[in-house]
Amino acid sequence: MDLTTPIDITAVIEAVREHQDLLVTLDAEQAGDILQHFTPMPGVKDSITLGRTTLGRISHKYTGKFLGQLASGKIVPRTLKVYPCVMEMSDEPERYRRAYITEVKGGLDPNGHPFEVWLNNYGIKVASKELHDVILTAKYDSDTSKTALSDSFDGPLTIIQQGITDKEISVANGNLYRGMAVLTPANIGTELLKMYRAIPDTMKKYEVQMHISNDLGEMYDDWLDAQGTLVTGSGAETAGQQWLRNTQKKCKLIRLTGMPANSQFVWITVKENQFYGYDQESDMNRIIPFNSGNPYLYTAAGKYVLGFQFATFDKSMFLCNDKGMTVPD
């Protein structure tokens, strides 16, 4: 492709349509490093109600008479709301000529992977990186003058923080862990294990996820390395492993990039309790080129909706520590 000639926008659209199988997706690129630890919920156009149903009390002493349920069941509703986000590209393709040639020469077939598709994929990858950087701490702001992606939806940390503010998460409710020391390479393994052991026995039956920052993950590696190698029935335990030591592979360490700097915040739950919602999977890789009127300008736009929610903050499924998250205001 001669990148100095005007762009045939019809050919661009046709190339993107023809090579749909080569398009990357927003949630499978860098944003996927975080999203993989949440349960996807497609088909959410506006909002959907999640919630955990509690049956109530149904057992009692036999009397020979049917007494019915002693305590009514209840549902604690939690709403997963999705918010619209957009991807917009407008630039001169010549700027990306060297990157394209380098990548294609590195193993891709120029005839099967045309520049138009490469540029679309590049845009999606950039959008995925931008999403990754704000996923956890994003906080929705209805002010239309605030157009940053970080103002577009409520991220998981924002939702947890609101739960703490509303007293839905508290020591009294058993889902806020208090007393964790400041984590250091000398104590992190011990302190994280104490927090794990504070969850109910019923929760320990599941494979739980302990979410920590990547910095804490590296700190844990240093702590684990200092303990020496522990030989277990399943092989040697070494630095960098995914499981919290002494939990019989019941507690998986989820090292999240994108956490606030120096964060010591930790939360434990199961993947099935935390969701991200969107409408259609095709929205995640759809940046549609359009004719801007400038034959030398490549313009494309895409739109998707995204939202997060926890099905429950009940102590049987959720526990977080009381360390600050430094979520931006």
The reply to whether 326 falls in a domain is: no
Structure tokens belonging to residue 239: 């630095």
Q: What's the pLDDT at 120?
A: 84
> Does residue 140 sit in the same domain as residue 280?
yes
Is 328 contained in some domain? Answer: no
Residues 248, 125 within the same domain:
no
Judgement on whether residues 86 and 194 belong to the same structural domain of the protein:
no
Residue 116 and residue 236 share a domain: no
Q: How many structural domains are present in the chain? A: 2
Q: What is the pLDDT of residue 281?
A: 87
Mean pLDDT to the nearest integer, 92-108: 67
Q: In terms of DSSP bridges, do strands 298-310 and 274-277 run parallel, antiparallel, or are they unpaired?
A: antiparallel
Whether the per-residue pLDDT at 41 is higher than 90: the answer is yes
Quick check: is 63 in a domain?
Answer: no
What six digits make up the tokens of 319? Answer: 């526990």
Same domain, 207 and 266: yes
Residue 300 to residue 133: CA distance in whole angstroms: 22
pLDDT in tens, 148-173: 999 999 999 999 999 999 999 999 99
Q: Is 218 exposed, middle or buried (0-12, 13-18, 19+ CB in 10 A)?
A: middle
**Pairwise CA distance, residues 127 & 284, whole Å:** 10
The verdict on residue 28 lying in a domain is: yes
Do 209 and 199 form a contact (C-beta atoms < 8 A)? no
Specify the amino acid at residue 182: V
Q: Is residue 69 part of a domain?
A: no
pLDDT top residue among 273 and 8: 273
Within 8 A by CB and 6+ apart from 20, the residues are none
CB contact at 8 A, 89 and 298 = yes
Does one domain contain both 179 and 218?
yes
SS3 159: helix
Query: Which residue range is the domain that position 16 belongs to?
Result: 9-53+75-151+276-308
Beta-strand relationship, 288-290 and 267-269: unpaired
Pair 117, 186 in one domain: no
Same domain flag for 112 and 24: yes
- If one counts every other C-beta atom within 10 angstroms of the C-beta of residue 114, the result is 22
Share of residues in the chain with pLDDT > 70 (%): 83
CB 293 within 8 A of CB 312: no
Q: Which residue has the higher pLDDT, 262 or 136?
A: 136
Closest to 31 (Cα-Cα) out of 327, 272, 258, 326: 258
- Per-residue confidence at 126, pLDDT binned at 50, 70, 90? very high
Asked if residue 289 and residue 262 are part of one domain, the reply reads: no
| Shared-domain flag, residues 191 and 280 | no
Q: Which of 82-86, 175-179, 274-278, 325-329 has the lowest mean pLDDT?
A: 325-329
Q: What pLDDT score was predicted for residue 108?
A: 52
Strand partners, 114: none
Residue 234's pLDDT is 41
DSSP classification of residue 270: -
86-93 mean pLDDT: 89
Distance (Å, rounded) from C-alpha 121 to C-alpha 95? 15
